[in-house]
Amino acid sequence: MRYLLTLLLALAITFQAYAQQFEGGDANARVGELINSSNYSTLSKELPALREKVAKPLLALADALVAHHDGRFEDSNRAIDKVSEFAPELGGEVIFGMQNLSLVNYLSLEDYKSVLGVVQLLLMSMPEDDSTRENRRNLESMSRWFTALSSKPSVVVERPKQDVVIPVEVRELGNGEHLVVDVKVGDKIEDFIFDTGCGNSNFISTAVAERLGVEIVAEDILIRGVGEGYAKLGYLPEMKIGDVTIRNATFFVVDKLLPEHVEVEGLCEAALGTHIIRKMGEIRFEREQSRFVLPAQESAAPKERNVFFNSQYYIWCNDGDERIEMHFDTGNNRTCLSSKYYERFKERVEQNGSKVERSRSGGFGGVEWCDVRFMPKVEFEVGGHALQLKKVSVNMPTKYEDGTPYIEQYDGVVGVDFVTASEVVTFDLKRMFYRIDK
């Protein structure tokens, strides 16, 4: 989805200039500024007071982006329909970007027929030349993906009307941990990583797919991790996690989750993705009991959401007086901070961190090495609760081939240690919050 994010960034920059053309300039300029800086949480708070003063095309765009950011995918697509009414004023680039956003919304809703329709529309509107070759390759892969699923029902999660307990193994892995749950298909049981960074499908090896009887419904699906490669697309009518029944799960099936030459003792060959985790609703992790609890009755969500969506799920917390934004990825065995974090807190990192070391991280498609400094401890605040992590790596800035500095977009990645550092935490990817209870 990287190409999609690039389009949306271009869209925001284009639209800021467009917003300044309207009368009532203060409100339009403010909304354009917040869109341009991707500060949708602030835009969500300020927009109600500005609505009457904002030009209708700009308002429709703001509504679409804020709803997407909040995980309200149906609302976002309704606003995108409104944006399309202003095509003459907005121009093709803005409308094209909004079509891309609707694609991600439909994908998050598992409305596979609608995703396929958007993909086909984008392919028809895209010129066949070298400038669009990579984008066309992405879309053609997605067309294979959603052609296969367009006749399949979306994921359904069924559970008893009582507290549901799911045992969790906190498994040591390399220099960190994984959260592992048992998935049962018939009389077969497989270990799955509980992975909030695995979007839109589950991720499993060919060997696991064969053991579980996963039906292969498509080939040559382009996916990206550390590198890129192709996967098969699989489908399973039913599987169980404890007393939770999951119907119509989909899978990216690859020979190996990590490259052949990377050996990690205890690594699972399967990962449970967010298309299921989101539908599980509120999940409470209790460290001492090593378990997840899905409560029969939802608790009250915090007044302010601290989880947001941008093709993946992100969480924000405070580092002192500064707010930081982190990818919420429990498939990462440890929290790591980015080059953006380094630039923001450079003096502290250089004063308290280790000397620069080489560090390896792996994922589908390859392994990457980078220069890091290790902080002996970092302290965050999440919803008014303190959180301390030990020995956290901070990426050093790198450069593109032309020498231009490359700074990562977000402040880092939340790993399993972020979850296990507290006795009890609750999170909900549908209501978009993460809370430390104890």
Question: For position 36, what pLDDT does the model report?
Answer: 80
Task: Specify the pLDDT at position 12.
Answer: 43
- pLDDT band for 29, please (50, 70, 90 cuts): confident
pLDDT of residue 260: 55
Q: In what helix (H) or strand (E) does residue 133 lie, and over which residues does it extend?
A: helix 133-149
Say what the pLDDT of residue 158 is: 96
DSSP letter assigned to residue 53: G
Average pLDDT, the chain: 86
pLDDT band at 141 (very low <50, low <70, confident <90, very high): confident
Percent of the chain beyond pLDDT 90?
53
Q: Looking at the predicted structure, is the pLDDT value of residue 413 above 80?
A: yes
275, with CB counted inside 10 A (0-12, 13-18, 19+), is buried
3-state secondary structure (DSSP) of residue 187: coil
Mean pLDDT of 99-122: 88
pLDDT of residue 90: 74
Express each pLDDT in 5-25 by its tens digit.
334 444 444 444 454 454 446
Determine the Cα–Cα distance for residues 69 and 93; give it in Å rounded to an integer. 21
pLDDT digits (tens, 9 = 90+) for 38-54: 888 889 889 999 999 98
* Nearest by Cα to 412 from 360, 356, 342, 333: 342
Mean pLDDT of all residues in 165-191 = 92
Encode pLDDT of 54-109 as tens digits: 888 889 999 999 999 999 999 999 999 999 898 887 777 778 888 888 988 998 99
Averaged pLDDT for residues 163-192: 93
Residue 228 has pLDDT above 80, yes or no: no
Rounded average pLDDT over 316-323:
92
d(CA 409, CA 191): 33
pTM for the structure as a whole: 0.88
Convert the pLDDT of each residue in 339-361 to its tens digit: 999 999 999 999 999 998 887 66
The rounded distance, in Å, linking the Cα atoms of 127 and 10 is 19
Confidence of residue 363 (pLDDT cuts 50, 70, 90): low
Which of 31-35, 95-99, 243-247 is the most confident on average?
243-247
Surface-to-core class of residue 246, CB atoms within 10 Å of its CB (0-12 exposed, 13-18 middle, 19+ buried): buried
Alpha carbon distance 335, 416 (integer Å): 7
pLDDT classification of 229: cutoffs 50, 70, 90: confident
Tokens at 299, concatenated: 């608790």
